Amino acid sequence: MSRLLILFLSIGLIACEQQSDTAAEAPVAASGDATGPKLYVFDCGRIRLASVEAFNLKDTDTDVRDLSAPCYVVDHPNGQLLWDAGLPSELAAAEGWVVRPDGLSNTLDETLASQMDRMGLGFDMGSLEYVAFSHIHWDHVGASNEVTSGTWLVQQGDYDAAHADGNMSVPAVQPELLVSIKERPTQVLAGDHDVFGDGTVQLIAADGHTPGHQVLFVDLAETGPVVLSGDLYHFQFSRANRVVPLFNVDAERSLQSMDKVEALVAMTGADFWLQHDASLFDAQQKAPGFYE
Ligand SMILES: [Zn+2]
Give the model's pLDDT for residue 30: 44
* Residue 187 Cα to ligand 1 middle (Å): 23
* Residue 51 Cα to ligand 1 middle (Å): 15
Query: Where along the chain do its domains lie?
Result: 2-283
* Residue 247 Cα to ligand 1 middle (Å): 11
Helix, strand, or coil here: 60?
coil
* Residue 280 Cα to ligand 1 middle (Å): 15
Give the model's pLDDT for residue 10: 52
The number of residues in the chain equals: 292
Rounded Cα distance, 40 and 79, in Å? 13
* Residue 140 Cα to ligand 1 middle (Å): 6
Q: Is the pLDDT of residue 151 over 90?
A: yes
Residue with the larger pLDDT of the pair 116 and 18: 116
* Residue 16 Cα to ligand 1 middle (Å): 25
DSSP run (H or E) holding 280? helix 278-283
- The fold of 2-283 is Metallo-beta-lactamase; Chain A (3.60.15)
* Residue 65 Cα to ligand 1 middle (Å): 13
* Residue 231 Cα to ligand 1 middle (Å): 5
* Residue 137 Cα to ligand 1 middle (Å): 7
* Residue 7 Cα to ligand 1 middle (Å): 30
Question: For residues 141-151, b (16+ Cβ closer than 10 Å) or e, as one string?
Answer: bbbbbbbebbb
Give the model's pLDDT for residue 102: 87
CA 203 to chain centre: 9
Share in percent of the chain as helix, strand, coil (round to 5): 30, 25, 45
Q: How many helices (H) and strands (E) does the chain have?
A: 6, 13
Q: Is the pLDDT of residue 13 over 70?
A: no
Picking from 153, 8, 138, the residue whose alpha carbon sits closest to that of residue 80 is: 153
Rounded Cα distance, 149 and 129, in Å? 7
Work out the burial of residue 12: count CB atoms within 10 Å of its CB; fewer than 13 is exposed, 13-18 middle, 19 or more buried: buried
**Phi and psi of 107, rounded to 5°?**
-150, 150
Helix, strand, or coil here: 129?
coil
> Peptide bond preceding 175: is omega within 30 degrees of 0, i.e. cis?
no
* Residue 126 Cα to ligand 1 middle (Å): 25
* Mean pLDDT computed over 219-227: 98
Give the model's pLDDT for residue 25: 41
